[in-house]
Amino acid sequence: MVETIETSSKMSTSPLKVKQMRKSCLPFLKYRLTSPQATTVDNPILGNITADGPLSTNRRKKATDRCRQTKGKDPMKGTELVLKALIDNKVKFVFGYTGGAIMPIFDEMEKQKAFKFIMSRHEQGAVFMAQGISRASLSTHDPRTGVCMATSGPGAMNLVTGIADAGMDSVPVLAITGQVPTGVIATDAFQESDVVGVMMPLTKQTYMPLSIDDIESTIHEAMYVASNGRSGPVVVDIPKDVQIQEADSVCKIDPRACQPKVPGYFASPSLDMDRLKQAVSLINKSVRPIILCGHGVISSNSGPTLQALVERSRIPVAFTLHGLSAIPVDHPASLGMVGMHGTVEANRALLHADLIISLGMRFDDRVTGNLAEFARHAEVIHVEIDPSEIDKNVKTTVALNADVKQVLDLLERDPALVSRPRNSWFAQIDTFRNEIADQLNAEIDAGIGQEGQLLAKTIVSRLSHLTRGKDIIVGDVGQHQMILARFYNFQTVNSWFTSGGAGTMGCSLPMAIGVKLARPDERVWSVSGDGGFQMNIQELGTIMEHGIDVKIVIMNNGYLGMVRQWQTLFYDGRYAGTPMKNPDYGAIAGAYGIPYLKVSELDQVDAAIEAARDHEGAFMLEFLCDPSEIVLPMIPAGGGIGDMIVSISK
């Protein structure tokens, strides 16, 4: 039976009454699940709250029983249980910023010294550092879910953008926030904010444990939910009084046996083998197939299997922004990035394909353009672990709701899959590839733009050459991001990190810190525009304090480059709000003890990159770039792939 608790939004409610109603909803805030047994609370302060049904306490007890190992003899505080659960989940680094409501947990961390705590200079930086750990460690022998912490009120609110970013890009992150004591929640207490209400729409799950008995199992469940199925961020908001509560007998959780049974949550959907046979049949009949490699291929560590399938089946592969580095970009079957700023060959091939095989991607607007024009003459196979993404934007012929790794493993070994040469299809793709190749090569070789300054395309091409495409690149957001995606020759699996769905400027520098900590033996480059770099410039302090070896590149063109490009093409060259006066980056680097070079001449580029590359420790390079530079091709907003702009003159 479904129980629904509702309050009319039209009723007259005093502020005190509203706060009392908000407080009365707290028992339901431990869960935010979609299930047939859900309870919905419609509240003028909290909005729609979906809870784990009226028996949530009993369900949590059953979940705890399944994980119970032994009873503790000595009482433990909530803070100890939080840290014990993190240790059990092999957390090594914790990123964050302390404050009043989270102070008890920080104090216990200092006592135990079980973690390497990295203090960000802003809470948003902590989320991106946690993202970096999560994403970069996926391809190591020791994958981890990044953890960040912040205090209540402004501390928790400063996490919001990074949490939203992780949600859009399906990155597992656990954010633990302090909250004011339960006795003053909903009284506008000092540094109080409705963390659960704010975070709910942005996260995979949000919790507020109201008793010490819930803390340990909540952290275990949160880590499980964040990292299983389609990954994503989870927030645990812990009132200060709950943190310092003591338990007479503490439930000890065995993390090896702990797989919480969460109503309505399915981490590993079962593959329909009949549909897989249908997919194989479509592939065998196809004359002009194309694979779209999405972030799911990276997240499932399936790059090598994809490469084996591509080579066996002779099917060309294009990449979403987050699919890049799944296989080497210069592989003969690689078409490069697809979509708004994708390559000519990727977009033209997608337009002419008779079969689209999409792997772990969600058909977002930057890939499809105008949906009415997308895949009009093609069958579509969609492999996706999240059923809500199937048929959401693009109607599929065969939908495979499954882990992309499982599907790729089966396809690559399937004897029924016919290997066809498809020579005519690859010949046609070569004509697409050559359409503007000479124009691009000439521009890169020239290296100088219309206003006499360096071209970012040339800088990225030289960086790619001098690192042999093997380094890790962490791009910020903007025009330089698209240039990195297009012109860096990624050779290492899972070596490209950036913000995709949310497009968060300022992500690169803090994310690069997390990436370097996850993979300390690899060289990491943080590449930003002058606009994005200044949004989290304070994280230079984190690099300085911990001696983190990140190579920092600033593409300084004195503008917000991508917006300026749109203004050039679509707003008659009116540069409203895009010119910017920059500080002395050399002085800033010096203040943080970071070596620095400014590069304005083409013949200085290689030497500067080599100096940063070979230096042990952080190094900053500032390149003075031409503001008139345009990155093409480009699909205009609202246009379809067929409307791709390949030349300004055209």
CA pair distance 64, 389, nearest whole angstrom: 32
Q: Which residue has the tokens 């769905």?
A: 501
Q: Which helix (H) or strand (E) holds 136?
A: helix 123-137
- Residue 27 structure tokens: 């028992």
Collapsed DSSP state (helix, strand, coil) of residue 281: helix
Collapsed DSSP state (helix, strand, coil) of residue 183: helix
Give catalytic status of residue 106 as yes or no: no
The gap between the terminal CA atoms of the chain, to the nearest Å, is: 63
Give catalytic status of residue 240 as yes or no: yes
- Residue 385 structure tokens: 């672990």
Q: What is the 8-class DSSP label of residue 122? A: S
| 272 phi, psi to nearest 5 deg | -85, 105
- The Cβ of residue 69 has, within 10 Å, a number of other Cβ atoms equal to 13
- The Cβ of residue 135 has, within 10 Å, a number of other Cβ atoms equal to 31
Burial category of 361 from C-beta neighbours within 10 Å (exposed 0-12, middle 13-18, buried 19 and up)? buried
The full 3-state SS of 317-363, as one line of letters, equals EEECCCCCCCCCCCCCCEEEECCCCCCHHHHHHHHHCCEEEEECCCC
What residues contact residue 629 under an 8 Å CB cut-off, 6+ apart?
449, 455, 456, 457, 479, 557, 561
Q: Which of 90, 116, 190, 601 is catalytic?
A: 190
Alpha-carbon Rg for the chain in angstroms: 26
140 within 8 A of 133, measured Cβ to Cβ: no
CA pair distance 434, 646, nearest whole angstrom: 12
Q: Which helix (H) or strand (E) holds 543?
A: helix 540-546
Q: Which helix (H) or strand (E) holds 293?
A: strand 289-293
Q: Which of 109, 337, 562, 620 is catalytic?
A: 562
- Residue 44 structure tokens: 């003028």
CA pair distance 369, 332, nearest whole angstrom: 26
Q: Which of 19, 115, 191, 278 is catalytic?
A: 191
CA pair distance 40, 51, nearest whole angstrom: 6
Give catalytic status of residue 562 as yes or no: yes
Q: Which of 80, 108, 123, 192 is catalytic?
A: 123
- β-bridge pairing 76-77 and 246-247: antiparallel
| 47 phi, psi to nearest 5 deg | 75, -150
160 within 8 A of 203, measured Cβ to Cβ: no
Give catalytic status of residue 190 as yes or no: yes
Q: How far is CA 431 from CA 189, 437, 648, in A?
A: 66, 10, 20
| 529 phi, psi to nearest 5 deg | -80, 170
What residues contact residue 613 under an 8 Å CB cut-off, 6+ apart?
466, 467, 523, 551
Q: Which helix (H) or strand (E) holds 523?
A: none
Collapsed DSSP state (helix, strand, coil) of residue 379: strand
Hey, which residues does 70 pair with through a beta bridge?
Answer: 252
Give catalytic status of residue 481 as yes or no: no
At 360, the amino acid letter reads: G
CA pair distance 488, 486, nearest whole angstrom: 6
Q: Which residues are catalytic?
A: 123, 190-191, 240, 562
